[in-house]
Amino acid sequence: MKKRIISFLAMVMCILPVLKAEEETSLNTVTQQAAEENASLYRSIYAELFGASNLIGISYDCRIKPGSPFGYRAGISYLHGTADANLNFNGNQVYSSNEELNGFAVPLEFNCILGPRKSKFEVAFGLNIGVYTTQKYSYYDDTIFPSLEYKITERHTAFGYYFFSNIGYRYQRKNGFMLRVGVSPSFSFGGSHGIRKFPLLYPYLSLGYTIGNK
């Protein structure tokens, strides 16, 4: 009888660690699944001034998977700008020009947001591609420039692109209001791509709304 009791106790002692390990594994699995379910995709829609949107734009931003700091952004933006030049001689205007630039573009970026709380640091790199139209009106005084036309209007449409990055602050909630502010270093390779961007720090400001988890 004693041998049977000892054998039974020995068998119980061997089984208990196995059962405990299985219980811990199941608990870890449940905990991990719960964490994944609570993790957010941070799907956001926001309006952006300046930066990669040129003048103004609207974009959609999302994590590549729940809980990941890495994500992407795609949007559409609009650019409008003018430039004037004048030349006077003996108090009279002998030359003037007005150049107007309009364009629609699509900013595309890969980004990363870091920080355990609502206030996060964001960094990104992307490409802005679009179609830009330039219209230039020129006036010449024919008494000073007799060989030139009196008025000239030029119109040119071209595909353009440039590269950009974002470095800034992001206020990001799982649901509700979001804010982005920072600088966007941008550059292009020469003037043959429809739009020129010098390697400067262009500011940006975004206000939007996060629509939450899955």
91 DSSP β-pair partners: none
Residue 86 lies in a domain: yes
Residue 30 lies in a domain: no
Mean pLDDT for the chain overall:
78
pTM: 0.71
Residue 96 lies in a domain: yes
Lookup: tokens for 133? 């139209």
How large a percentage of the chain has pLDDT more than 70? 65
Residue 161 lies in a domain: yes
Q: Which of 66-75, 108-117, 158-167, 197-206 has the lowest mean pLDDT?
A: 197-206
Lookup: tokens for 111? 């980004």
Mean pLDDT of 117-127: 94
d(CA 76, CA 53): 7
Count up the domains in the chain and report the number. 1
- Domain range for residue 91? 39-210
pLDDT at 160: 87
Residue 33 lies in a domain: no
Residue 64 lies in a domain: yes
pLDDT in tens, 32-73: 433 444 577 889 999 999 999 999 999 999 999 988 999 999
Residue 98 lies in a domain: yes
Question: Which CATH number fits the domain that encloses residue 170?
Answer: 2.40.160
Residue 31 lies in a domain: no
